[in-house]
Structure 1
Amino acid sequence: MSDPKADLVRYLNRARDALLWKLDGLSEYDVRRPMTPTGTNLLGLVKHVASVELGYFGETFGRPFPESLPWLDDGAEPNADMWAAPGESREYIVGLYRRAAEHSAVTIEALPLDAAGRVPWWPAEHAEVTLHRVLVHMVDETARHAGHADIIRELIDGSVGLTKDRANAAPGDAEERETYRARLEAAARAAEQ
């Protein structure tokens, strides 16, 4: 029989790995460059997810992270957690993400799934949570942003895949993918007529 906490941790770790893998082999510029009209970028996604995870598995359960995160302070620039400032290196942000995962692991290991916590930034009527709810929330949050990273990475250099060893995408070379894309474009245009 499966262990629900172990299942959730496995899914969380898989989403974490997918998010970090999207940085592999890219230049400093490419991991930072905004690829959407709203500025979404790979390193910013990692910084954001690290920050969110530290709040949910730290502050929510009375285990604040010992490092200062100035981009979360009152008066910080809006969206400062969504991009890497010039003085914040890739190594720093990836290291922060790994430290966040370690901090979270201690919380997850120490508490049962029904352990009560309080999310201070949620409305009072929803702020009382359990570790189970927070784990589900962070699996969802991390996987959602890993999906954003999938698209951003494809826009940067055409790389696709669920993991380094598993493409999880239509087979074929660039020419076959372009033919496939052209078919989809034609179908979309035909639907408008």
Structure 2
Amino acid sequence: MSDARDVPVAGERALLEAMVDRQRAAVAGLLDDLTDAEARERLVPSLTTVLGLVKHATFVERVWFHSRVAGVPRRELGLPDTVDESFVLTTDDTVASVRAAHAEACDRSRAIAAEHDLDETYPWHHGPVSLRYIHAHMVAELARHAGHGDILVEQLRARRA
């Protein structure tokens, strides 16, 4: 795993992969120094919690890389049918378990992507997409959720003061 700051003039693939990894790390880092109770706390009307955001990011990895690129049916991966369901927490979801599942999903996504060319295309409900598009989409998706999480974490930590 590399950091996008390490490859500002690298080739396209190295840059894309580093940018995705930087956002993966930002999402995983949301759980740093949070208790299970804090990570589960709902501060907004939606299902969004810090723990739910990381769980959702794991879902996103599995949908785009494990299912779409690797071709494993979503059902075989145990993925929920809807995006909203990917934020739902179970009693088994803890900071440790969600963090581990996210790290495992990211590792598997990297391995899958490494086996494919950026120009390869995959089916999507809006038409075919390239691996290049998937990397760019992941940067945007993960950055958006890391930002949401940053705000929630800031609120949680402010309560401690």
**TM-score (normalizing by structure 1):** 0.71
Give the structure 2 partner of residue 22 of structure 1.
30
Residue 37 of structure 1: which of 42, 45, 70 is its match? 45
Point out 4+ residue stretches in structure 1 off by more than 6 angstroms: none
- Find out whether 1:113 has 2:113 as its counterpart: no
| Post-superposition offset of 1:143 | 0.6
Q: Describe the SS at the equivalent of 1:81.
A: helix
Q: CA RMSD in A?
A: 2.4
Deviation at 1:71, TM superposition (A): 5.5
**1:70 deviation in Å?**
4.4
Deviation at 1:67, TM superposition (A): 9.6
Residue 5 of structure 2 aligns with which residue? none
Task: Give the C-alpha shift of residue 105 in structure 1.
Answer: 0.6
Q: Per the alignment, in what secondary structure is the counterpart of residue 58 of structure 1?
A: helix
SS in 1 for 2:129: strand
Say if 2:47 and 2:84, in contact at 8 Å, map to a contact too: no
Does residue 60 of the first structure (1) align with residue 65 of the second (2)? no
Give the CA deviation at 1:33.
0.8
Q: Which amino acid aligns with 1:7?
A: L
Identity %: 28
**Contact between 2:31 and 2:95, CA under 8 Å: does it hold in 1?**
no
Amino acid at match of 2:56: H
- What letter corresponds to residue 58 of structure 1 in structure 2? H
Q: Distance in 1 between matches of 2:109 and 2:78?
A: 20
CA separation of 1:107 and 1:118: change in aligned 2, threshold 3 A: same
Rounded Cα–Cα distance in structure 2 between residues aligned with 1:29 and 1:156: 10
The 1:69/1:86 distance shift into structure 2, 3 A limit, reads farther
Match of 1:151 in 2: 151
Aligned residues: 152
Equivalent in the alignment of 1:104: 109
Measured against aligned partners, the alpha-carbon deviations of 1:23-77 in whole angstroms (never above 9, x if no partner) come to 111111100111111131101000111101111012112342899654615xx8x
Kept in 1, the 8 Å contact 2:27–2:146? The answer is yes
Aligned twin of 2:4:
none
Give the aligned partner of residue 164 of structure 1. Answer: none
Q: Does 1:88 align with 2:96?
A: no
Calculate the TM-score normalised by the size of structure 2: 0.84
Tell me which structure has the larger Cα radius of gyration.
1
Secondary structure of the 2:122 match is strand
Verify the 8 A CA contact 1:71 1:80 in the aligned structure 2.
no
Unaligned runs of 5+ in 2: 1-8
Change (3 A) 1:5 1:91: same
- Kindly state the Cα deviation for residue 127 of structure 1 after the two structures are TM-superposed: 2.7
Deviation digits for residues 123-179 of structure 1 (CA, Å, limit 9, x no counterpart): xxx2311100011001110111000011000111139xxxxxxxxxxxxxx9xxxxx
1:141 is matched with which residue?
141
Contact 1:44 1:84 in 2 (8 A): yes
